[in-house]
Structure 1
């Protein structure tokens, strides 16, 4: 995949660099804060090869990429000046208070998830080595691995100080300094002495509580929130000639004193109360929370509200040493989505859908659910039912048997080691049993409920489309797409581009053209003609969405050898000229002219069936879509 061009396309279609106030990424998504969301070309992005989907929710414009998101993120930063840029999104003022809180939590915790994941998995590896007596807790090998794994958790206030500062519009490095203040060896030494001797800690008569802040969450967030106001105040009162010195001095000194004497202790108490509440909830009914989370996790992830649970889980691991709130239910739900996707992969007779569902299923079982969630679960009732039922059952098992997660990580097969702790494998066994149960149950339910019309009867050498419905209005249940160009029909899976070959963008066919005039294959509207003219998005009056992608990697020609004959938003009939292409010039430039034609909202239909073969002329039927 050409990450440089993909990054440029995404940046251009979110309104350009000037429209981006902030960009971060999580495991699978680019998360933009846009100044004006109306400038974003959502339909164009959805039809862009390499983009799985687009979600505009919670003040963030999210472009779903998949596991390649770090490469696309780096590509965008290499081509722009977004590093450190932070500002409000256009929809911030229209958000409810709840949405604002969720957006804030997401913005604080999303950037540090790789830190928590890495530290958690290192601790999990260490637990495995210890349980199987490969290392002893007195070994130097153990100690080295232990402090490497502990570092991510111990210095969590420093990382949170930086990300919280970005959310509160403060200097992120001053935010990190506040976090480091809580962890300075001199202060931690004073705390240890005070706990042993009872000697009070004070600053000019102001009492400082003897609290240990390593791995804490709430104290630094509260303190950086205060920092944001102090910094703006200091900036306002400081003379311009000395602002460089006075703003960081006033901001850091005042905030640090208030943090140590007031906000830090308050945050510590709040964190302990939260931990006590969930400890009580665990004894009152340990199955309640993981069952609810396991059942409704797909909707939580879709809206971004799962980050509220993630923050609680981090706080619990910092105070209790383990989490039972977020990890348990989300483990069951994640792998259940994998089971549902694999059931569709097994049952479907469509080669392209089979490839997409099987890939998304395996990925979800590993712990990354977005490809399955947006490609399968949310678009199919059978998959959603299977996922929610199996996720709820799996969450109940985790809760009723008291499984505990000690290290975090993205819930799935790869994070099972994070359930090893307290010198026992009990939680690991429960988590492994839950994983197997959730996958199998989701697979069975989805397999039983999933319906796919038998639309193809195979005879030797030919395939004929035979609609299942035989009622008088059966013709209204199908829609035909004709060839936009003259040329040779090629199966989509033979296209030398995995985005099309694996039907990531949808099912359809490809044409190796012999004539460079591209005409409309449907009656409807032109949604978009890309600036580079190499791709055209169309939509029929009934809602069928179609993408014509002229050539492979021809976006790099930047419109050269393409002549646009129509415009965005134009109504078209079958046969309306769209683009004129110089095929010979494109081939001379070293590009393949094969042209995929795909239905981008494939999941809205019972079947997308190739009907043409061999050499076809413009206007010949090539795809039949079954509603």
Structure 2
């Protein structure tokens, strides 16, 4: 992958750098907050070398995989300094809930590397202490422990930075306002029952708290904007920060801090409620639905809860144990697919994705394997349910906020419970084994759609590799209206049209851009390569079949020069429709997904 070229194309297809309001990244994705979501060219973006997939909901998420950091840095260079002041964002019918989630993700996502790094360091220290390698009384241990605990202690400062960046206000002043709550002298004053202007100030230890910081910066942002608007320009440089601090900090001490503290306590109370009412079942259920949450990016909504739980309780009992079960189930499923598949491309993808999932990164597995094969998805969900149940029954705790996997397993080391990490290993082993065996037994490339296939029902695999789209999106009224027949269209990534099923060639245009095909159950299929490509008069097309030929699934029928057709200004979309549709029930699968020739995309059943 040419990272420079990848970055340039990504920026181009998201609407240019002028369309970017905010950029961050997680372990596998670039996360763009855009000014106008309608400018994204999703199909072109998905074809960029190095891009695994694209998801648009509260943010435009470009899934990169293990090279995300390198691509992120290059994209940053392409974007330069982002201009967000005074911008009115145009969103595609986003609800207030979606806007709120975008705000929360933008605040908490950048925190994870620091929290994860510190957490893993502390868990490694716990491991060496319980194994007797280093005493907890030694100064070396204590210094290293302080280093590991620093990100969590200074969470209010880190949150102030990310919140101020998201709100596009002065980060240093925002940090100063929140930092006041952490001053040793302030802590001493609060503990002695202080008052401010006659009002009592609640004694709260603000270290490790996140919600007081968020509320404080939200309030500060409004105060800053008011004083910036009305302050004379000659004194603005000191007057605005001075007045903002003068008003914000007392309000934070009297109102916002206590309010945020109680919000954090409520978040931590969620886990107590879940365990008191659902017990281990809560972990099992969450683990089973995590594949669907990760695909849509909604798992990030769990991060504020996890951060709050970690800061309030010093551990997390629900999300991270459930994630351990899901991550390892993805790995086991991928390795099983690599053994069962005959598709060399899928095998390669499955092996690399399985390794990645084993170490806690599941997006390559999800987008490259799981969601493309329904039996794999169901197997992963079932295996995650079992693994999550084990984690819940033994109530394993996590002590670091990082993607659970083999490399980060020390996050489950508990100084007060030596069995905690043992049960984590048990969860890992069971999740992997159940997923591996389940997929090994049930995965079948040619029968991914239905467990009960009728005698007359035909399943057509994709005639070409590419992205499946709905027929209604074809830029030709004759096909998009369904006048010719029911079916699908595919935006091709390769140049060879192959037989999707055993059958007979019944028609072949002289220009080779269209071909008729009849399946064993009598369904008549029309393949049409490109829009208006008849005008090319056969140029760039080559046929390997003739009328009357009986061919097998996967045999090459037509070759065309994809690049030349595109350069000539033609849409290369391949259309596949059942022309005698009145006699058949036609169902499509994998719409809006990128598929290989082994994926079944149509089922055709005679109407009886």
Structure 2 vs 1, CA of residues 90 and 84 (structure 1 numbering), >3 Å: closer, same or farther? Answer: closer
Whether contact under 8 Å (1:131, 1:423) holds in the other structure is: no
**Pick aligned residue for 1:297 from 277, 290, 295:** 290
Pairing 1:531-610 to 2, within 5 Å after superposition? 565-567=567-569, 569=571, 603=595, 605-606=597-598
Instruction: For 1:73-472, list aligned pairs within 5 A.
Output: 73-82=72-81, 90=89, 92=91, 94-191=93-190, 194=191, 199-453=192-446
Given the two structures, how large is their TM-score scaled by the length of structure 1?
A: 0.74
Higher mean C-alpha deviation, range 282-291 or range 297-306:
282-291
CA 1:607–1:229 in structure 2 vs 1: closer, same or farther (change >3 Å)?
A: closer
1:524 equivalent to 2:529? Answer yes
What's 1:26 paired with? Answer: 26
Note closer, same or farther for the CA distance 1:406–1:22 as it changes in structure 2 (3 Å cut): same
User: Is the 2:20–2:82 Cα contact (8 Å) retained in structure 1?
Assistant: no
Q: Distance in 2 between matches of 1:166 and 1:87?
A: 15
Tell me the residue number matched to 2:52.
Answer: 52
CA RMSD of aligned residues (A): 3.4
- Partner SS, residue 445 of structure 1: helix
Matched residue, 1:477:
460
Instruction: Evaluate the alpha carbon distance shift between residue 380 and residue 174 of structure 1 in structure 2; reply closer, same or farther with a 3 A threshold.
Output: farther
Secondary structure of 2:137's match?
coil
CA contact (8 A) 1:162 1:174 kept: no
8 Å Cα contact 1:322-1:406 kept in structure 2: yes
In the alignment, the residues of structure 1 paired with residue 396 and residue 593 of structure 2 have an alpha-carbon distance, to the nearest angstrom, of 40
- Give TM-score scaled by structure 2 length: 0.76
**Conserved 8 A contact 1:338-1:439:** yes
Structure 1: how far apart are the matches of 2:243 and 2:166? 20
- Deviation of 1:205 after TM superposition, in Å, equals 2.5
Measure the CA separation in 2 of the matches of 1:240 and 1:309: 43
> Judging changes above 3 Å, is the alpha-carbon distance between structure 1 residues 449 and 11 closer, same or farther for their aligned structure 2 residues?
same
CA distance in 1 between partners of 2:570 and 2:248 (Å): 54
Stretches of structure 1 lacking an aligned partner (at least 5 in a row): 455-468, 483-504, 510-518, 528-545, 551-561, 574-599, 609-624
Residue in 2 that maps onto 1:16: 16
Q: Per-residue CA shift, 1:303-348, capped at 9, x if unaligned?
A: 2222222211111111111111211111111111111111111111
Give the Cα separation in 2 of the matches to 1:604 and 1:89: 41
CA 1:350–1:233: 2 relative to 1, 3 Å: same
Q: How many residues align?
A: 507
> Given that residues 338 and 365 in structure 1 are in contact (C-alpha distance below 8 angstroms), is that contact kept between their aligned partners in structure 2?
yes
Asked whether the equivalents of residues 22 and 166 of structure 2 are also in contact (C-alpha less than 8 Å), the reply is: no
Distance 1:65 1:105 in 2: 22
Question: Shift of the alpha carbon at 1:75?
Answer: 0.6
Q: Alpha-carbon deviation of 1:415?
A: 2.0
Q: Give the whole-Å Cα distance in 2 for the aligned partners of 1:127 and 1:98.
A: 40
Distance 1:350 1:80 in 2: 39
Q: Is the 8 A contact 1:338 1:360 kept in 2?
A: yes
Q: Offset at 1:28?
A: 0.6
Report Cα offsets for 1:286-310 as digits up to 9, x if no partner. 3132112101111212222222222
Maintained 8 Å contact 1:102/1:304? no
Which residue number in structure 2 is paired with residue 43 of structure 1?
Answer: 43
Match of 2:588 in 1: none
Give the distance between the partners of 1:327 and 1:126, measured in 2 at CA.
20
Tell me if the contact between 2:409 and 2:424 (Cα under 8 Å) persists in the aligned partners: yes
> Which secondary structure state, in structure 2, belongs to the residue aligned with residue 23 of structure 1?
strand
Describe the SS at the equivalent of 2:408.
helix
Equivalences for 1:480-495 in 2 at 5 Å? none
Output one character per residue of 1:461-493: Cα deviation in whole Å (capped at 9) or x when no partner. xxxxxxxx999997x9367569xxxxxxxxxxx
Match of 2:543 in 1: none
Partner of 2:552: none
C-alpha separation in 1, matches of 2:409 and 2:156: 26
CA displacement 1:33-65 (0-9 Å, x = unmatched):
12222322211111111100001112x111100
Deviation at 1:602, TM superposition (A): 5.6
Residues 159 and 213 in structure 2, CA contact (< 8 A), matched pair in contact too: yes
- CA distance 1:395–1:479, change in 2 (3 Å): closer
By how many angstroms is 1:412 displaced?
A: 1.8
1:49 alignment partner, SS class: coil
**Map of 1:65 onto structure 2:** 64
CA distance in structure 2 between the partners assigned to 1:6 and 1:109 by the alignment: 27
For residues 531 and 193 of structure 2, the distance between their equivalents in structure 1, rounded to whole angstroms, comes to: 73
- Cα distance in 2 for partners of 1:288, 1:547 equals 54
The separation in 2 between residues aligned to 1:349 and 1:80, in whole angstroms, is 42
Cα distance, 1:626 vs structure 2? 12
Matches of 1:106 and 1:96, distance apart in 2: 15
Q: Residue 109 of structure 1: CA displacement? A: 0.7
Shift in Å at residue 10 of structure 1?
0.7
Secondary structure of the residue aligned to 2:203 is: coil
CA distance in 2, matches of 1:287, 1:89: 46
Greater Cα shift, 145-154 or 235-244: 235-244
Other structure's SS at 2:530 match: strand
